[in-house]
Amino acid sequence: QQLSFWYPGRPLFAGWCHAFPGGLTWVRGENGSGKSTLLRLLGGALQPVAGTLTVDGLEATAQPQDYRRQVFWCGPDPLAFDHLSPAEYWGFLAGLYPTLDGAALPDQAQALGLGPHLHKRIEQLSTGTQRKVALAAALCANTRVVLLDEPLAALDAASVARVRSRLALAAADATRCWIVTSHEALGEAAQAHAALLDLPMPA
């Protein structure tokens, strides 16, 4: 509600209001419209200048820890704690997100081609493989809100198919809220049920 945020000399949001529905929302817009910034704000990686962010009655500023446990953000940034292996990293995330489905992670990891890399340190992995480590966790997060910033970028065809399959399931599940930015198509099944949010270029 009444969300405001700007970079020096570059206003992006001024009194912006939106209620995201359950299911899948595809955030679209030109480069510079604030898509990634919006997801960072929703995920707590950036703080708004003004306004409130609420999930299930939990307000981000008043109850930051409870809020963040309900919101999983997966973006293009390098992973923190890159001295850990993927398996150790997921174990760390499980301590932050009680809903993370650890039993489903091995299947997601194999489907994304991570099998040979599970016991390597994350810092030894390519940027694309590190992104798959984060995506595997996001696809199993089971938080009330999942934020995916360009999840299909630079993925191989098999991994794109896996992510699109999961997005199709998310689009049909009104009990959770998935918010995605993507220049790539999300797949026919996901797009058939996705809500669209088009961000204009800031004035």
pLDDT in tens, 83-110: 999 999 999 999 999 999 999 999 999 9
What range defines the domain where residue 24 resides?
A: 3-198
Q: Is 203 domain-assigned?
A: no
Q: What is the CATH number of the domain that holds 166?
A: 3.40.50.300
- Asked if 147 and 179 count as a contact pair (C-beta separation under 8 A), the reply is yes
- pTM for the model stands at 0.96
Domain-embedded: residue 14: yes
Q: Give the pLDDT mean for 169-197.
A: 97
Percentage of residues in the chain having pLDDT higher than 70? 100
pLDDT at 77 over 90: no
What is the reported pLDDT for 164? 97
Q: Is residue 140 part of a domain?
A: yes
For position 9, what pLDDT does the model report? Answer: 85
Indicate if the pLDDT at residue 39 is higher than 90: yes
Residue matched to tokens 């707590």 = 44
Q: Flag whether 52 is in a domain.
A: yes
HEC string of 13-34 equals EEEECCCCCCEEEEEECCCCCC
Rounded to whole angstroms, the Cα distance separating 144 from 99 reads 9
Domain count, the chain: 1
Is a pLDDT exceeding 90 seen at residue 78? no
**Residue 8: exposure state from Cβ atoms within 10 A (0-12, 13-18, ≥19):** exposed
